[in-house]
Structure 1
Amino acid sequence: MNYRMKPLKYPWPPLLYLGACVIAVLLDDYVASAPLIDPKGTIALIAGAMIATGAIAFNVWAIHTLMLHYSSLSLHQSKRPLITDGPYRYSRNPIYLGYTLLMVAGGLMLGNGWLMIAAPIAALLTTLIAIRYEELHQLVRFGVDFERYCQRTRRWI
Protein backbone atom coordinates (compact mmCIF):
# COMPACT_ATOMS: atom_id res chain seq x y z
CA MET A 1 0.00 0.00 0.00
CA ASN A 2 2.76 2.49 0.93
CA TYR A 3 4.49 2.02 -2.41
CA ARG A 4 1.44 3.55 -4.08
CA MET A 5 1.27 6.49 -1.72
CA LYS A 6 0.74 9.81 -3.49
CA PRO A 7 1.79 13.25 -2.28
CA LEU A 8 -0.76 15.70 -0.91
CA LYS A 9 -3.31 16.77 -3.47
CA TYR A 10 -3.84 20.32 -2.16
CA PRO A 11 -1.27 22.93 -1.10
CA TRP A 12 -2.27 22.85 2.57
CA PRO A 13 0.69 24.71 4.10
CA PRO A 14 0.17 28.02 2.25
CA LEU A 15 -3.55 27.81 3.05
CA LEU A 16 -2.82 27.07 6.72
CA TYR A 17 -0.45 30.02 7.02
CA LEU A 18 -2.80 32.34 5.15
CA GLY A 19 -5.71 31.25 7.35
CA ALA A 20 -3.63 31.78 10.50
CA CYS A 21 -2.70 35.28 9.32
CA VAL A 22 -6.32 36.18 8.59
CA ILE A 23 -7.47 34.91 11.99
CA ALA A 24 -4.65 36.81 13.75
CA VAL A 25 -5.55 40.07 11.99
CA LEU A 26 -9.26 39.61 12.76
CA LEU A 27 -8.52 38.86 16.42
CA ASP A 28 -6.35 41.97 16.66
CA ASP A 29 -8.93 44.18 14.94
CA TYR A 30 -12.17 42.88 16.42
CA VAL A 31 -11.43 41.09 19.69
CA ALA A 32 -8.39 42.42 21.52
CA SER A 33 -4.74 43.07 20.94
CA ALA A 34 -2.36 40.44 22.26
CA PRO A 35 -0.07 42.41 24.58
CA LEU A 36 3.18 40.76 23.51
CA ILE A 37 4.93 43.73 21.96
CA ASP A 38 4.88 47.49 21.84
CA PRO A 39 3.04 48.29 18.59
CA LYS A 40 4.95 51.53 18.13
CA GLY A 41 8.38 50.23 19.13
CA THR A 42 11.30 51.00 16.84
CA ILE A 43 13.22 47.97 18.06
CA ALA A 44 10.31 45.65 17.18
CA LEU A 45 10.03 47.25 13.74
CA ILE A 46 13.75 46.86 13.03
CA ALA A 47 13.83 43.29 14.38
CA GLY A 48 10.78 42.39 12.32
CA ALA A 49 12.32 43.87 9.17
CA MET A 50 15.52 41.92 9.76
CA ILE A 51 13.64 38.66 10.33
CA ALA A 52 11.47 39.28 7.26
CA THR A 53 14.53 39.95 5.13
CA GLY A 54 16.14 36.73 6.33
CA ALA A 55 12.95 34.72 5.81
CA ILE A 56 12.48 36.01 2.28
CA ALA A 57 16.14 35.36 1.46
CA PHE A 58 15.83 31.83 2.86
CA ASN A 59 12.71 31.16 0.75
CA VAL A 60 14.33 32.55 -2.40
CA TRP A 61 17.41 30.40 -1.75
CA ALA A 62 15.21 27.31 -1.27
CA ILE A 63 13.26 27.94 -4.48
CA HIS A 64 16.49 28.68 -6.36
CA THR A 65 17.95 25.39 -5.09
CA LEU A 66 14.87 23.53 -6.34
CA MET A 67 15.23 25.19 -9.73
CA LEU A 68 18.94 24.28 -9.92
CA HIS A 69 17.94 20.64 -9.56
CA TYR A 70 15.27 21.01 -12.24
CA SER A 71 12.70 20.37 -9.61
CA SER A 72 9.52 22.14 -8.66
CA LEU A 73 7.60 22.94 -5.51
CA SER A 74 5.19 20.14 -6.37
CA LEU A 75 5.73 16.67 -5.00
CA HIS A 76 3.60 15.34 -7.87
CA GLN A 77 6.48 15.35 -10.32
CA SER A 78 7.80 11.82 -10.50
CA LYS A 79 11.33 12.84 -11.53
CA ARG A 80 11.85 15.14 -8.56
CA PRO A 81 15.18 14.27 -6.91
CA LEU A 82 15.92 14.23 -3.19
CA ILE A 83 17.44 17.63 -2.56
CA THR A 84 19.84 17.86 0.36
CA ASP A 85 21.97 20.89 -0.43
CA GLY A 86 21.45 24.63 -0.19
CA PRO A 87 19.06 25.50 2.64
CA TYR A 88 17.96 21.87 2.69
CA ARG A 89 21.25 21.13 4.49
CA TYR A 90 19.90 23.03 7.50
CA SER A 91 16.17 22.35 7.37
CA ARG A 92 14.10 19.71 5.64
CA ASN A 93 11.36 22.34 5.26
CA PRO A 94 13.05 25.69 4.57
CA ILE A 95 10.05 27.18 2.76
CA TYR A 96 7.68 26.40 5.64
CA LEU A 97 10.29 27.76 8.04
CA GLY A 98 10.35 30.94 5.96
CA TYR A 99 6.55 31.21 6.20
CA THR A 100 6.75 30.86 9.98
CA LEU A 101 9.47 33.49 10.30
CA LEU A 102 7.49 35.86 8.06
CA MET A 103 4.52 35.58 10.43
CA VAL A 104 6.73 36.41 13.40
CA ALA A 105 8.25 39.32 11.47
CA GLY A 106 4.80 40.57 10.53
CA GLY A 107 3.74 40.42 14.16
CA LEU A 108 6.73 42.51 15.19
CA MET A 109 6.41 45.06 12.39
CA LEU A 110 2.63 45.45 12.66
CA GLY A 111 2.48 45.25 16.43
CA ASN A 112 0.15 42.25 16.16
CA GLY A 113 0.93 39.76 18.91
CA TRP A 114 -1.66 37.35 17.50
CA LEU A 115 0.57 36.79 14.47
CA MET A 116 3.37 35.76 16.81
CA ILE A 117 1.04 33.36 18.62
CA ALA A 118 -0.37 32.01 15.35
CA ALA A 119 3.07 31.31 13.81
CA PRO A 120 3.97 28.27 15.95
CA ILE A 121 0.36 27.04 15.74
CA ALA A 122 0.52 27.20 11.93
CA ALA A 123 3.88 25.40 12.04
CA LEU A 124 2.42 22.66 14.26
CA LEU A 125 -0.62 22.23 11.99
CA THR A 126 1.66 22.15 8.94
CA THR A 127 3.70 19.41 10.60
CA LEU A 128 0.61 17.36 11.45
CA ILE A 129 -1.31 17.87 8.20
CA ALA A 130 1.41 18.14 5.57
CA ILE A 131 4.99 17.48 6.63
CA ARG A 132 4.47 14.04 8.15
CA TYR A 133 2.55 12.96 5.05
CA GLU A 134 5.20 14.44 2.73
CA GLU A 135 7.93 12.68 4.69
CA LEU A 136 6.18 9.32 4.35
CA HIS A 137 5.90 9.93 0.62
CA GLN A 138 9.62 10.74 0.41
CA LEU A 139 10.53 7.73 2.52
CA VAL A 140 8.67 5.50 0.08
CA ARG A 141 10.34 7.17 -2.92
CA PHE A 142 13.90 7.54 -1.65
CA GLY A 143 14.18 4.87 1.06
CA VAL A 144 17.50 4.72 2.91
CA ASP A 145 18.73 7.95 1.32
CA PHE A 146 15.83 9.83 2.88
CA GLU A 147 16.36 8.09 6.24
CA ARG A 148 19.99 9.22 6.26
CA TYR A 149 18.96 12.74 5.30
CA CYS A 150 16.47 12.81 8.20
CA GLN A 151 19.19 11.67 10.61
CA ARG A 152 21.53 14.53 9.72
CA THR A 153 19.00 17.32 8.99
CA ARG A 154 16.32 18.54 11.37
CA ARG A 155 12.72 18.92 10.29
CA TRP A 156 12.60 22.64 11.10
CA ILE A 157 15.92 24.04 12.38
Structure 2
Amino acid sequence: MSVRDASSSFPWPPVIFATAFALATLAGWKEPMPIVPEAARGFLRFAGILVILAGVGIALAAEWRFMLAGTATLPTRPTSMVVSEGIYRYTRNPMYLGLSLSVAGVGFLINSWWFLVVLPLAVIAVTKLAIEREERYLEAKFGPDYLGYKARTRRWF
Protein backbone atom coordinates (compact mmCIF):
# COMPACT_ATOMS: atom_id res chain seq x y z
CA MET A 1 0.00 0.00 0.00
CA SER A 2 1.40 3.41 -0.96
CA VAL A 3 1.05 6.52 1.16
CA ARG A 4 -0.64 9.41 -0.62
CA ASP A 5 1.49 12.57 -0.73
CA ALA A 6 -1.29 15.14 -0.43
CA SER A 7 -3.41 16.62 2.32
CA SER A 8 -6.65 15.36 0.78
CA SER A 9 -7.99 13.12 -1.94
CA PHE A 10 -10.86 15.57 -2.56
CA PRO A 11 -10.68 19.31 -3.42
CA TRP A 12 -12.79 20.48 -0.47
CA PRO A 13 -12.13 24.24 -0.57
CA PRO A 14 -13.44 25.03 -4.08
CA VAL A 15 -16.39 22.68 -3.55
CA ILE A 16 -17.25 24.24 -0.18
CA PHE A 17 -17.11 27.81 -1.45
CA ALA A 18 -18.99 26.99 -4.67
CA THR A 19 -21.68 25.25 -2.59
CA ALA A 20 -21.94 28.24 -0.24
CA PHE A 21 -22.27 30.57 -3.22
CA ALA A 22 -24.94 28.36 -4.82
CA LEU A 23 -26.92 27.99 -1.57
CA ALA A 24 -26.87 31.75 -0.95
CA THR A 25 -27.94 32.43 -4.53
CA LEU A 26 -30.81 29.93 -4.35
CA ALA A 27 -31.94 31.12 -0.93
CA GLY A 28 -31.88 34.74 -2.10
CA TRP A 29 -33.90 33.86 -5.16
CA LYS A 30 -36.46 31.92 -3.10
CA GLU A 31 -36.60 34.30 -0.13
CA PRO A 32 -34.85 37.66 -0.68
CA MET A 33 -33.22 39.03 2.45
CA PRO A 34 -31.73 42.46 1.65
CA ILE A 35 -29.04 43.98 3.87
CA VAL A 36 -30.25 47.55 3.29
CA PRO A 37 -33.35 49.05 1.66
CA GLU A 38 -33.13 49.37 -2.11
CA ALA A 39 -32.77 53.17 -1.90
CA ALA A 40 -29.55 52.83 0.14
CA ARG A 41 -27.78 50.29 -2.08
CA GLY A 42 -25.23 52.63 -3.71
CA PHE A 43 -22.61 52.54 -0.96
CA LEU A 44 -23.16 48.83 -0.36
CA ARG A 45 -22.50 48.08 -4.05
CA PHE A 46 -19.30 50.11 -3.94
CA ALA A 47 -18.20 48.32 -0.75
CA GLY A 48 -19.03 44.97 -2.37
CA ILE A 49 -16.85 45.73 -5.38
CA LEU A 50 -13.95 46.75 -3.11
CA VAL A 51 -14.28 43.62 -0.96
CA ILE A 52 -14.47 41.36 -4.04
CA LEU A 53 -11.39 43.05 -5.53
CA ALA A 54 -9.53 42.62 -2.23
CA GLY A 55 -10.51 38.95 -2.08
CA VAL A 56 -9.52 38.26 -5.67
CA GLY A 57 -6.27 40.18 -5.19
CA ILE A 58 -5.34 38.20 -2.08
CA ALA A 59 -6.18 34.88 -3.78
CA LEU A 60 -4.19 35.79 -6.91
CA ALA A 61 -1.20 36.91 -4.82
CA ALA A 62 -1.32 33.53 -3.08
CA GLU A 63 -1.57 31.60 -6.35
CA TRP A 64 1.34 33.64 -7.74
CA ARG A 65 3.52 32.79 -4.72
CA PHE A 66 2.78 29.07 -5.12
CA MET A 67 3.55 29.28 -8.83
CA LEU A 68 6.87 31.03 -8.14
CA ALA A 69 7.71 28.34 -5.59
CA GLY A 70 6.78 25.56 -8.02
CA THR A 71 4.36 23.91 -5.62
CA ALA A 72 0.78 22.77 -6.09
CA THR A 73 -2.21 24.85 -5.02
CA LEU A 74 -4.76 22.03 -4.91
CA PRO A 75 -4.85 19.95 -1.72
CA THR A 76 -5.06 16.79 -3.87
CA ARG A 77 -1.49 17.35 -5.13
CA PRO A 78 1.82 17.02 -3.30
CA THR A 79 3.25 20.11 -1.63
CA SER A 80 6.94 20.54 -2.38
CA MET A 81 7.81 23.30 0.09
CA VAL A 82 6.51 25.62 2.79
CA VAL A 83 5.72 28.97 1.18
CA SER A 84 6.17 31.78 3.69
CA GLU A 85 6.93 34.82 1.53
CA GLY A 86 4.67 37.51 0.13
CA ILE A 87 1.08 37.30 1.32
CA TYR A 88 2.00 34.12 3.23
CA ARG A 89 3.92 36.27 5.74
CA TYR A 90 0.56 37.54 7.01
CA THR A 91 -1.77 34.55 6.70
CA ARG A 92 -1.27 30.81 6.25
CA ASN A 93 -4.48 30.56 4.21
CA PRO A 94 -4.71 33.55 1.87
CA MET A 95 -6.56 31.59 -0.82
CA TYR A 96 -9.35 30.73 1.61
CA LEU A 97 -9.31 34.26 3.00
CA GLY A 98 -9.64 35.62 -0.54
CA LEU A 99 -12.54 33.28 -1.32
CA SER A 100 -14.24 34.25 1.94
CA LEU A 101 -13.90 37.95 1.19
CA SER A 102 -15.26 37.37 -2.29
CA VAL A 103 -18.36 35.61 -0.94
CA ALA A 104 -18.98 38.50 1.50
CA GLY A 105 -18.35 41.03 -1.27
CA VAL A 106 -20.93 39.41 -3.54
CA GLY A 107 -23.41 39.60 -0.67
CA PHE A 108 -22.77 43.35 -0.38
CA LEU A 109 -22.81 43.85 -4.13
CA ILE A 110 -26.18 42.18 -4.65
CA ASN A 111 -27.57 43.26 -1.25
CA SER A 112 -28.21 39.79 0.15
CA TRP A 113 -27.78 38.67 3.75
CA TRP A 114 -27.75 35.07 2.55
CA PHE A 115 -24.09 35.31 1.49
CA LEU A 116 -23.17 36.53 4.97
CA VAL A 117 -25.28 33.77 6.54
CA VAL A 118 -23.57 30.94 4.62
CA LEU A 119 -20.06 32.40 4.96
CA PRO A 120 -19.42 31.30 8.57
CA LEU A 121 -20.64 27.82 7.66
CA ALA A 122 -18.21 27.72 4.73
CA VAL A 123 -15.36 28.95 6.93
CA ILE A 124 -16.08 26.27 9.55
CA ALA A 125 -16.34 23.57 6.87
CA VAL A 126 -13.12 24.59 5.12
CA THR A 127 -11.34 24.75 8.48
CA LYS A 128 -12.47 21.27 9.49
CA LEU A 129 -12.33 19.51 6.11
CA ALA A 130 -9.29 21.22 4.57
CA ILE A 131 -7.16 23.45 6.80
CA GLU A 132 -6.80 21.07 9.75
CA ARG A 133 -5.91 18.22 7.37
CA GLU A 134 -3.45 20.44 5.51
CA GLU A 135 -1.80 21.44 8.77
CA ARG A 136 -1.36 17.80 9.86
CA TYR A 137 0.03 16.92 6.42
CA LEU A 138 2.48 19.85 6.41
CA GLU A 139 3.58 19.16 10.00
CA ALA A 140 4.31 15.52 9.10
CA LYS A 141 6.05 16.39 5.83
CA PHE A 142 8.07 19.48 6.82
CA GLY A 143 8.33 19.16 10.61
CA PRO A 144 10.16 22.07 12.28
CA ASP A 145 10.08 24.25 9.15
CA TYR A 146 6.28 24.21 9.06
CA LEU A 147 5.89 24.34 12.86
CA GLY A 148 8.05 27.50 12.97
CA TYR A 149 6.01 29.08 10.18
CA LYS A 150 2.78 28.06 11.92
CA ALA A 151 3.98 29.61 15.21
CA ARG A 152 4.75 33.00 13.64
CA THR A 153 1.90 33.31 11.10
CA ARG A 154 -1.82 33.45 11.81
CA ARG A 155 -4.19 30.96 10.20
CA TRP A 156 -6.59 33.47 8.65
CA PHE A 157 -5.32 37.04 9.19
Taking structure 2 as the reference length, what is the TM-score of the superposition?
0.90
Superposed displacement of residue 75, structure 1: 4.3
Identify the residue that residue 33 of structure 1 maps to in structure 2: 32
Q: Deviations over 1:112-155 (max 9, x none)?
A: 11011111210111001111001000000111111111111111
The question of whether the paired residues in 1 share the 8 Å contact of 2:107 and 2:114 is answered with yes
CA distance in 2, matches of 1:134, 1:57: 23
TM-score, normalising length: structure 1: 0.90
More displaced stretch, 5-14 vs 21-30: 5-14
Return the offset for 1:33. 2.4
Distance in 2 (alpha carbons) for counterparts of 1:27 and 1:140: 41
The one-character-per-residue Cα deviations of 1:46-69 (angstroms, maximum 9, x if unpaired) are 001011111111111111111111
Measure, in 2, the Cα distance between the counterparts of 1:76 and 1:15. 13
Work out the number of aligned pairs and report it.
154
Q: Which runs of 5+ in 2 are unaligned?
A: none
Aligned-pair identity in percent equals 28
Offset at residue 91 of structure 1 (A): 0.8
Amino acid at match of 2:132: R
Alignment of 1:65-104 (within 5 A): 65-75=65-75, 77-78=77-78, 80-104=80-104
For 1:27, give the aligned amino acid. A
Where does 1:78-157 land on structure 2 (aligned, <5 Å)? 78=78, 80-157=80-157
RMSD: 1.8
CA pair 72-147 structure 1, distance change in 2 beyond 3 A: same
Structure 2 distance, partners of 1:80, 1:155, is: 20
Deviation at 1:37, TM superposition (A): 3.2
* Contact 2:48 2:106 survives alignment (8 Å): yes
Aligned-pair CA distance for 1:74: 3.0
Distance (whole Å) between structure 2 residues aligned to residue 39 and residue 95 of structure 1: 32
Provide runs of 4+ in structure 1 moved above 6 Å. Answer: none
In 2, distance between residues paired with 1:6 and 1:56?
Answer: 25
